[in-house]
Structure 1
Amino acid sequence: MLLAVSTNKGGVLKTSIATSLASIYSQEQKTLIIDADNQGNVALTYGRNPDQYEYTIYDVLAQNVSPEAAIDKINSNLHILPANDELAFLEFDVLSNPNDYPKPFHIMREKLTPLLASYDVIIMDAPPNIGLITGNILSFVQDIIIPFQPEHYSMRSFIKMLEVIDNFRGSHNKNLKVSGVVGTLVDSRTVLHKQILEQCEEYCEKNNIRMFKQIIPRSVQFANSIAYEQQPAVMNRKKNPATEVYFNIKEELDNGKK
């Protein structure tokens, strides 16, 4: 499986979804998380300092470093390809040297495809915008999960993201598909959240897009787990309502592929 968690909005639990799903999959399958966001939050999730790596995804994409040289092994089954602030320079490199990058949206496909043979599951954490890196992700992966936070203007951002995905499917990656949309940071007590979630569900149904039945409510447990235990809460193997949601999303994701 080659999956990205992506949307053009920040603060909607992209990294939490990517790292939690990867941590769950790694319990039985060899799994890699590729951090494509220069904030470096994947490394931080597992207690690493992203600024202390000798090599990151930037070196793989722009400096011809092999991806294996940049991989950090969290444990035997869970590895990460980290990112840090250097990734922000990739767009400048590409724009400044067009002769070196004749296919600017295919850089990841060219550099990262060899990793597919080494992992059962690869999950990418995308940046919170639509640009060169997101374009590369959409040209490379097979499946997209879109987090959807039910706030003002969310539907507009969501529809724009779907338009971008459709464009890349037609121009760069015919195999790209939306695996599903998941509601995040949901407060079911508010009328606004219920109304916007209903709008999203109606839009998805009308356009034949799956919306996960499981939503992710607001919770401080994951933040506490990363701060104090330096790992996603799902790695504690303690089932509770806050962690169960990610196991349910993984189950829905798997069932959708059968």
Structure 2
Amino acid sequence: MAIKIAFTNYKGGTAKTTSSTNLAGGLLKTFPDAKILLVEADGQGNTSSTFSIKSSTIENTMYDVMLKDVPMKDIVINAYENIDIAPANSDMDFVDFDFMTENKREMKVSIFQALKKIPNLVKRILTMKLSEFLTEIDKEIVETKDYFNLLKDKLDDVDAIYDFIIFDTPPEMKAVTASTLAVVDHVIIPYEPEKYSVEGIVRLLRRINTIRNEYNPSLNIAGLLPVKVNMKTKLHNEVMASILQFSMNQKINHFSTRIPASIRFATATANGLPATIVDKRTEKFTEAYYELIDELIEKEIIK
């Protein structure tokens, strides 16, 4: 089975796409025979565009996997050598709305069928308490999809094909991100060391723990990853020190790797390829992602 890793943060601009694509590139260089799948869960399509793929023109995407039960393997396209992508586009922006709409319709159908199925329910309903009615109905209604677990069993057809599956998630904690966390092995939380970072991480950890308790008991918080770091900035150093102390208190890993602020952040999602594929490993920005891989290997997250 593949090692499944997600990059997640509520906040936009925390290098989730940059980190997921550069981790994929670094893994390819480190393990040339490995097969890697990038799952693009963000409707902006930046993971695809990093590999010069226009996801806006693709018919079936992660939206169709989540809501229309299209097999994952049917949407996968090759991006570069042993790196494939399960693409997404702006359709993903409607996952929540379309799920609610469809779920509402299915619920009405289920109630209708239950009313016909339960003996004399229609006659008895006028004298029943609401709690009694709900008990009767709940016995018959089966939800076909879970809002927080839309990827349940959806990776079965690709799990054995790939060595690594890396998820790029949107800056939110609704259906898409929650469903991703419900199926991955590890979550990496990239954060920019700025004001309110600690508060944001605390909120995110609460939601991650909820998903772990409800859906994915084996979900591991691989660690907190500082990104866009300028070591010459006093604020960055102070925030990282604060978050490091917090992580130690909570017994959560804080990566030693620092992803530096770089012009590569401005170009990382432009057409082309990730820096870890095209740049020399000795480049400061690129080297940081290889340091991250070394840490992941050391902590036996990558084997």
TM-score, L = length of structure 1: 0.95
Q: Which sections of structure 1, spanning at least 5 residues, go unmatched?
A: none
- Name the counterpart of 1:230: 272
Equivalents in 2 of 1:22, 1:88: separation in Å?
Answer: 25
Q: Deviations over 1:78-105 (max 9, x none)?
A: 0000110001111112111224644222
SS of match in other structure, 1:180: strand
Matched, 1:137 2:180: yes
Matched, 1:203 2:203: no
Cα 1:190/1:79, change in 2 over 3 Å: same
Give the letter aligned to residue 62 of structure 1: L
- Name the counterpart of 1:79: 84
Give the letter aligned to residue 28 of structure 2: S
- Name the counterpart of 1:54: 59
Say if 1:106 and 1:139, in contact at 8 Å, map to a contact too.
Answer: yes
Q: Deviations over 1:135-163 (max 9, x none)?
A: 10111111000001111111110110111
Equivalent of residue 213 in structure 2, options 163, 170, 174: 170
Equivalents in 1 of 2:81, 2:69: separation in Å?
Answer: 26
Q: Deviations over 1:164-211 (max 9, x none)?
A: 111111111101110011101111111111111000000001111111
Q: Which sections of structure 2, spanning at least 5 residues, go unmatched?
A: 107-142
Say if 2:150 and 2:176, in contact at 8 Å, map to a contact too.
Answer: no
Give the letter aligned to residue 254 of structure 1: I
1:106 Cα deviation after fit: 2.0
1:222 Cα deviation after fit: 4.7
Say if 1:22 and 1:78, in contact at 8 Å, map to a contact too.
Answer: yes
Q: Point out 4+ residue stretches in structure 1 off by more than 6 angstroms.
A: none
- Name the counterpart of 1:246: 289
Instruction: Out of 96-105 and 71-80, give the one that drifted further.
Output: 96-105
1:37 Cα deviation after fit: 0.6
Give the letter aligned to residue 61 of structure 1: M
CA RMSD of aligned residues (A): 1.5
1:226 Cα deviation after fit: 5.0
Structure number with greater CO (CA < 8 Å, separation at least 6) is 2
Instruction: Out of 49-58 and 37-46, give the one that drifted further.
Output: 49-58
Matched, 1:153 2:196: yes
Equivalents in 2 of 1:255, 1:154: separation in Å?
Answer: 27
- Name the counterpart of 1:21: 23
- Name the counterpart of 2:233: 190
Say if 2:76 and 2:87, in contact at 8 Å, map to a contact too.
Answer: yes
Q: Deviations over 1:111-152 (max 9, x none)?
A: 223211110000000111111111101111110000011111
Instruction: Out of 145-154 and 109-118, give the one that drifted further.
Output: 109-118
Give the letter aligned to residue 258 of structure 2: I
Cα 1:161/1:226, change in 2 over 3 Å: closer
Give the letter aligned to residue 32 of structure 1: L
Equivalent of residue 12 in structure 1, options 3, 11, 14: 14
Equivalent of residue 34 in structure 1, options 36, 39, 43: 39
Instruction: Out of 127-136 and 93-102, give the one that drifted further.
Output: 93-102
1:64 Cα deviation after fit: 2.5
